[in-house]
Amino acid sequence: MAVWKRFKSDKLGMFCLIVLTFIFLVGIFSRQLAPNDPTAIDVANKYAGFSSEYPLGTDQLGRCVLSRLMYGAKTTLIISLITMIWTIGIGGILGLISGFFRDWVDEVIMRICDIMLSFPSEVMILSIVGILGIGVKNIVIATVLAKWAWYCRMIRSIVIQYTDSNYIRFAKVSGCSHYHIITKHILPMTMGEIAVLATLDMGGIILNISALSFLGLGVQAPTAEWGMMLNEAKSVITIYPELMIVPGLAILTTVALFNFLGDSLQEAFNPKNATFKKEVV
């Protein structure tokens, strides 16, 4: 409750949360909200201007840009969310194990992380997608493999801070099992910081997914996705720049909102920002 009160007092954080929730809801209910079928081709109306039927015009195949933007929100955000869940899951579990047990387990996991982190994540993602082939499943696998080591190392450093606490030492001396200590004590204490890490990195994952689709290695036509919309509009950027501006602004806005939200969560979870009021009797 104290964290929520601190976060609620942050106007920028609340604004970001509300707008992101709106974007997620638009994506989830895009089938009901979209004015047209995002894959319906109408060559006779290609590059149509803004109108009541096509609020943001049409693309090179006469498809409604607004409808594709709404459906693209669902595609981009769901893929990014699935990628984040898998990355946090693998990196979090290994980070908890490494930070809690230490000794040779920590050494083995950290040396593997060192090997993975020695390669730039973008280069590794492109290499893995090149080996596995194009497709949504492969870009998720590539992103998870490229990013789990970073989360593992970050979460390990967070866990180490708590394993040296007196109450954790007392729990060990009292005979509590490792599973009980990790799930009942350490994991609840680290969830806030893990949430901050995930929120701050969500924007980066969205950029990776969109970039791969823009390069033709991610989501394939006719599926609507923001990066794919940029790829399809790049050939007419000088004639119809709005076709690239619309999905570009969607990516830019969403990434910025996640970054600002992460900063606000970091401030809210910081106990140093808590204010204590003393009652005067």
Helices (H), 9-64: 11-28, 30-33
- State the pLDDT confidence band at 270, using cuts at 50, 70 and 90: low
Residue 168 confidence (pLDDT) above 50: yes
Burial classification of residue 52, based on how many CB atoms lie within 10 Å of its CB (0-12 exposed, 13-18 middle, 19 or more buried)? exposed
Q: How far apart are CA 164 and CA 159, in angstroms?
A: 9
pTM of the model: 0.84
Contact partners, residue 58, CB within 8 Å, separation at least 6: 42, 45, 46, 47, 48, 64, 65
- State the pLDDT confidence band at 255, using cuts at 50, 70 and 90: very high
Please report the pLDDT score of residue 272 as a whole number.
Answer: 56
- Closest by CA to 72, choosing from 118, 27, 20, is 27
Residue 274 confidence (pLDDT) above 60: no
Residue 280 confidence (pLDDT) above 70: no
Out of 181-195, 196-210, 251-265, pick the least confident. 181-195
Round the average pLDDT of the chain to a whole number and report it: 85
Q: How far apart are CA 223 and CA 68, in angstroms?
A: 9
Q: How many residues does the chain have?
A: 281
Per the structure block, which two tokens stand in for 100? 């809690």
- State the pLDDT confidence band at 220, using cuts at 50, 70 and 90: confident
| Tens-place pLDDT, residues 69-105 | 999 998 888 999 999 999 999 998 999 888 888 888 8
Which one-letter amino acid corresponds to residue 103? D
Please report the pLDDT score of residue 252 as a whole number.
Answer: 93
Helix axes 187-214, 226-233, angle to 10 degrees: 20
Q: Answer whether 217's CB lies under 8 Å from 126's CB.
A: yes
Neighbours of 186 (CB within 10 A): 22
- State the pLDDT confidence band at 29, using cuts at 50, 70 and 90: very high
